[in-house]
Structure 1
């Protein structure tokens, strides 16, 4: 939902950083892998109780996630790069809630499982829609130029990152926040299924 507002405001900054990276010979795939690795470090920091470090690392990770696309636009996009970006995004989005589950299993395990389950369902609806859209030759630039057909929803990247920031700042509220966001994510998945029924 917020991605459409955030993206055009961040892109100029990301494009400037991407030009500097590209000039050093750093490729988009390298940025993608490093961003995911930093995200996994954030997960480890969170699991060990270093929440401020985890917060800083997850924000750096998402900066890298924005940069890889900007670098790819400069150096030339590849199908493998698009594939890698999507897969490692899913790794990141599953890993951060897992970090909070490991931090306090007694308080967070059920809520974390529910949240990750809804991420799974939403991700499946997102990817399945993209496959069917590709088969029908559909295209969309709702969130800029993407490797696959990109459907929008209530729970997108910006909202999810804000959720993870809230987890770090308010760890005692993890379960409440997770259940609330799981409901938004489930709604996004259901709305995409309804859209698919109307579109296909």
Structure 2
């Protein structure tokens, strides 16, 4: 919901940093993988109860997730880069709720499972829409230059990052935040299904 507005704020500094990294010989895929490794480090820290460290690692990981696109725009966007980026994002998004379940199964297990199920459904609707959009040669740059077609919704990247930061700032409230987040994911999925019906419901 907020990505389009946030892009106007974050893209200029990210592009400057991305150009510097690209000029130093660092590739977008390297930045993507570094972001994943740090993000998985955040999940390990959560599982161990080291939430201050986890907060730092989550923020650094998501900054790198934004920087990889800026580096790619400098060096040239590739299909594999887009594939790697979304695969690493999904790995990070799944690892964090799992880590909270491991940290406190009694309090967080059910909420983490519900959030992971909501992620699964929402991710399926997102990727399915992107496949059909590609088939119809649709394009948009409202959320930056992407290799996949990104649809909007109640929860986008900005809101997702905000929830993940909230998880590690208030870990005792993970279960409640996760339930709210899961509900938002399902609302986003429903709105995307309705949009898909409107756009793809008839023959091309």
- The residue aligned with 1:126 is 126
Kept in 2: contact 1:115–1:182 (CA 8 A): yes
SS at 2:155 equivalent: coil
Q: CA deviation at 1:7?
A: 1.5
- The residue aligned with 2:46 is 46
Which ranges of structure 1 fall in alignment gaps of 5 or more residues? none
- The residue aligned with 2:168 is 168
Aligned positions, number: 200
1:145-160, aligned counterparts within 5 Å?
A: 145-160=145-160
Q: CA deviation at 1:80?
A: 0.5
Range with bigger deviation, 177-186 or 133-142: 133-142
Alignment root-mean-square deviation, CA: 0.8
After superposition, the C-alpha distances for 1:147-180 in whole angstroms (9 at most, x for unaligned) are: 0111001111111111111111111111111111
TM-score with structure 2 setting the length = 0.96
Matched, 1:31 2:41: no
What is the CA–CA distance in structure 2 between the aligned matches of 1:163 and 1:198, rounded to whole Å?
30
Which ranges of structure 2 fall in alignment gaps of 5 or more residues? none
- The residue aligned with 1:60 is 60
TM-score with structure 1 setting the length = 0.98
Range with bigger deviation, 110-119 or 132-141: 132-141
- The residue aligned with 2:181 is 181
Matched, 1:114 2:98: no
- The residue aligned with 1:12 is 12
After superposition, the C-alpha distances for 1:24-68 in whole angstroms (9 at most, x for unaligned) are: 100000000010010000000010000010010010000000000
- The residue aligned with 1:71 is 71
- Runs of 4 or more, structure 1, over 4 Å off, are none
Kept in 2: contact 1:47–1:99 (CA 8 A): yes
